[in-house]
């Protein structure tokens, strides 16, 4: 078995994760974790949809921010995709997408304040980097033959419109609508940094122990995402896009003095601001590295590796839930519901809830990341097994699982997992805002202490870490000859 490179790679990652568990801080610190969890589930079971009108407003704002942000992101991403063959454009896109929406929001909050622009840009900027990459991959995969057959002298715009776009349109549409769903999740969690979306409402209900309100919010969010294909229709889309900017709310006006100060003073490293020169700068940078960056990087990597393997285990356990090869229609339907819930709940919200119930440690983060990402990969793999035709006399039960199905889907399972590696790391860093000692924790505390120069350095380090893991993931996928598709 160990002669397979895929199996060897799996066990290496498993060993790293087990090593990580030894040094990780995994604990339940609250006095009555199960009682709290019970109260939370009771809240979800007895949702209160009518406590305040704030809930509906928050829902509306969530949708509006998602629409405006994703629309701008896809347009900008489309333009960037046209120039994606130029290295500077590729580097720029890799950079903006390696910084999480919440970090962008934290940055913009410092100078735009609680203006709608903060939320819109926080979604639009990283999304345009992602769109640029995926659109350009779609363009590259399109059939080049029609373009080669065009009469010489055809304008490049005409050639693009006829020979490229129609061939890619379906894929572009599918991917963009998938991203809209992601945009709704991003928009919801922007509430955790104070924007008027669902996360804000959830956090305030939770802190007051109003679990029924929080339950109502979660249920509405699931319904919103599950019914997406019903209410987002091609014909209605222009209407939504035009209307969305009017439902962002007013927020607070932008103080332009803040914007100027942010760029000319706040983010300049303190020693340069105080005229201490390069010597002061290197001492300052060393201090940031030793006291904040290195512990943050270490914890981020440890948590990422544990969460990655946990995600893999959850995926392998979860895919039979929706596979045609096991159980009856009732089991499969409930399996679908479970996986939809797991993958539509943003990991940030899951982590927040678990953190409230179990107290601060790496455990809630690992469980949240594994549930969310495992739900996504389990869903994709389960769907893939439905296309497999087994011979009529094939074994059933666990033998079927372990001998017939897992070996057939294992390669694509690994491909998805390594594809999500970078996403898991980006989320791990951001979960620090909730109080786990990953990079996000140090970014958040630097901002709280009004040391934006430090925060910017830490955000840059986080971005570089993400770019590095992305490259490593791609290298491993290539080495193991694994293929992926984008919507995962």
Write out the residues near another protein by the rule CB under 8 A.
Answer: 143, 145-146, 148-155, 157-159, 161-163, 166-167, 169-170
Least Å from the CB of residue 170 to another protein? 7
What's CA 448's distance to the chain center, in Å?
24
Of 420, 425, 416, the residue nearest 463 (C-alpha): 425
**Interhelix angle for 54-82 vs 165-190, to 10°?**
140
Quick one: 53 or 145, whose CB is closer to another protein? 145
CB 150 to another protein: min, Å: 6
**Distance between terminal CA atoms of the chain?**
28
C-alpha to C-alpha distance for 120 and 118, rounded to whole angstroms: 6
- Which is closer to another protein, CB of 150 or CB of 294? 150
Residue 171 Cβ vs another protein, minimum distance, rounded to whole Å? 10
65: enclosing H helix or E strand: helix 54-82
Q: Which is nearer to another protein, 157 or 330 (CB)?
A: 157
- H/E run at residue 479: helix 452-479
CB of 130 to another protein, least distance (A): 24
Min dist. Cβ of residue 145 to another protein (A):
4
Smallest gap from Cβ 149 to another protein, in A, equals 5
Taken in order 299, 302, 306, 312, the sign of the CA dihedral is positive
Which lies closer to another protein via its Cβ, residue 140 or residue 170?
Answer: 170
**Residue (134 or 163) nearer to another protein, CB:** 163
CA torsion angle 320 324 330 335 (round to 10): 30
Q: Which of 303, 311, 309, 289 is nearest to 464 (CA)?
A: 289
Rounded CA separation 485/383 (Å): 14
Secondary structure letter of residue 353 according to DSSP: H
Nearer to another protein, 166 or 395 (CB): 166
Instruction: Tell me whether residue 166 or residue 407 sits nearer to another protein (CB atom).
Output: 166
Question: Could you tell me the smallest distance in angstroms from the CB atom of residue 146 to another protein?
Answer: 5
Integer Cα distance of 293 and 458 in angstroms: 6
Residues in the chain: 488
| Least CB distance to another protein at residue 74 (A) | 19
As measured in angstroms, the least distance from the Cβ of 129 to another protein is 27
Q: Distance between CA atoms of 488 and 410, rounded to whole angstroms?
A: 16
Smallest separation (angstroms) from another protein to the CB of 84: 22
Specify the DSSP class assigned to residue 151.
P
Residue 102: partners with Cβ closer than 8 Å, 6 or more residues away = 122, 189, 190, 192, 193, 348, 430, 433, 440
Choice between 157 and 230, CB closer to another protein: 157
Q: Which is nearer to another protein, 19 or 166 (CB)?
A: 166
Helix, strand counts (H, E) of the chain: 24, 0
Task: Give 151 or 275: the residue with its C-beta nearer to another protein.
Answer: 151
Contact 314, 375 (CB under 8 A): yes
Q: What angle (nearest 5°) sits at the alpha carbon of residue 278, between those of residues 273 and 282?
A: 100
């Amino acid at each position: 078995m160990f002669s397979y490179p895929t199996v060897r790679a799996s066990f290496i990652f498993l060993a790293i994760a087990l090593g990580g568990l030894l040094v990780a801080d995994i604990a339940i610190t609250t006095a009555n974790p199960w009682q709290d969890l019970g109260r939370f589930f009771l809240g979800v079971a007895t949702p209160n949809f009518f406590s305040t009108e704030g809930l509906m407003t928050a829902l509306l704002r969530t949708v509006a921010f998602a629409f405006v942000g994703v629309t701008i992101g896809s347009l900008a991403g489309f333009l960037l995709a046209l120039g994606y063959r130029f290295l500077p454009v590729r580097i720029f896109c890799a950079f903006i997408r390696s910084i999480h929406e919440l970090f962008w929001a934290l940055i913009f909050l410092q100078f735009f304040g609680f203006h709608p622009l903060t939320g819109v840009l926080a979604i639009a900027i990283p999304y345009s980097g992602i769109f640029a990459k995926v659109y350009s991959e779609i363009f590259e995969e399109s059939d080049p033959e029609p373009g080669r057959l065009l009469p010489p002298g055809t304008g490049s715009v005409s050639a693009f419109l006829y020979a490229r776009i129609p061939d890619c349109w379906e894929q572009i549409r599918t991917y963009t609508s998938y991203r809209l769903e992601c945009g709704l999740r991003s928009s919801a969690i922007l509430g955790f940094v104070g924007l008027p979306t669902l996360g804000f409402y959830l956090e305030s209900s939770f802190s007051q122990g109003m679990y029924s309100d929080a339950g109502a919010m979660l249920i509405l969010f699931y319904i919103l995402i599950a019914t997406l294909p019903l209410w987002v229709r091609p014909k209605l889309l222009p209407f939504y896009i035009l209307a969305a900017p009017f439902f962002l709310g007013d927020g607070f006006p932008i103080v332009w003095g803040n914007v100027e100060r942010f760029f000319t003073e706040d983010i300049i490293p303190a020693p340069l601001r105080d005229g201490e020169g390069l010597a002061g700068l290197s001492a300052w940078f060393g201090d940031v590295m030793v006291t904040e960056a290195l512990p943050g990087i270490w914890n981020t990597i440890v948590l990422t590796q544990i969460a990655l393997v946990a995600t893999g285990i959850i995926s392998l356990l979860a895919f039979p839930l929706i596979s045609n090869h096991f159980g009856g229609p009732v089991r499969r339907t409930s399996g679908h519901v479970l996986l939809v819930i797991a993958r539509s709940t943003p990991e940030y919200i899951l982590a927040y809830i678990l953190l409230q119930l179990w107290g601060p440690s790496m455990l809630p983060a690992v469980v949240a990341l594994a549930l969310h990402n495992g739900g996504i990969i389990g869903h994709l793999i389960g769907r893939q097994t439905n296309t497999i035709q087994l011979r009529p006399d094939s074994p059933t039960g666990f033998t079927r699982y372990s001998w017939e199905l897992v070996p057939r889907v294992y390669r694509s399972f690994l491909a998805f997992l390594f594809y999500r590696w970078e996403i898991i790391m980006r989320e791990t860093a951001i979960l620090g805002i909730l109080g786990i000692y990953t990079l996000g924790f140090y970014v958040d505390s630097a901002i709280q202490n009004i040391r934006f120069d430090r925060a910017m350095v830490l955000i840059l380090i986080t971005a570089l870490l993400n770019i590095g893991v992305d490259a490593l993931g791609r290298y491993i996928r290539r080495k193991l000859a694994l293929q992926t598709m984008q919507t995962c």
